[in-house]
Amino acid sequence: MEEDKMETDQLSYYKIGGLIRQYRKERDLKLLDLSTLTGIKSALLSKIENGRMLPTIPTLFTIIQKLGIQPEVFFAQLNADKKFPGYLFLPKETYTSYEKEEGATGFHYFSILEHSAEGGAFQISLLQLDPGAARPQVTTAAFEFIYVLNGQLKYQLEDKQFDMKTGDSIFFDGNIAHVPLNESGAPVQLLVLYLFNENLR
């Protein structure tokens, strides 16, 4: 019976944003172009693409329709692994580089692991911040745990700022506007865990 449960199909809902961005770029559309096509504000589209929020079902169907994607094709690409073998070995070479915010400079994200389960999902990423890396403060529809692997930085949560160094960590509600600031003159590496679970709120 337990094995049957493990075999049940799951969808990796948190792949939605990256998939939308991929299709948009394949069609040579900018965010503003997609906004005009769908009637959805570009700021909202940006949050969806960056994985900082999940679209409602009507919003998602509007986007994929205007991008000319068949729903069954889109959702087939969200299939998660059907069975967890009890362990995962993740060589560094399997980490996937991805873009979190268009227009951000000096932010290098690598997805280590994404997993969906009943009740929520999580994503673990490696983030390298170049000296002087810049982007506006953002919000995320998830809880975030940040661990400093090496280096020094300032982490800003709205009007609060925390000095962080190797081994320090911070956990916060991603709905608080936030941005890491690397003013150290050397690269900084962070482990970032996103927890998508409404039961935590």
Residue 131 has pLDDT above 90, yes or no: yes
Q: Where in the chain is the domain with CATH 2.60.120.10?
A: 92-200
Give the type of residue at 31. Answer: L
**Tokens 């096509």 belong to residue:** 37
16/12 Cα distance (integer angstroms): 8
Q: What is the mean pLDDT of residues 69-83?
A: 76
Q: Are the C-beta atoms of 142 and 171 separated by less than 8 Å?
A: no
The answer as to CATH 2.60.120.10 being correct for domain 92-200 is: yes
Give the type of residue at 169. Answer: S
Q: Is 92 helix (H, G, I), strand (E, B) or coil?
A: helix
CATH architecture of 2-76: Orthogonal Bundle (1.10)
pLDDT band at residue 83 using 50, 70 and 90 as cut-offs? low
Q: Are the C-beta atoms of 43 and 87 separated by less than 8 Å?
A: no
Q: Where in the chain is the domain with CATH 1.10.260.40?
A: 2-76
pLDDT tens readout for residues 29-61: 988 999 999 999 988 898 888 777 788 889 999
Q: For 151, which DSSP code?
A: S
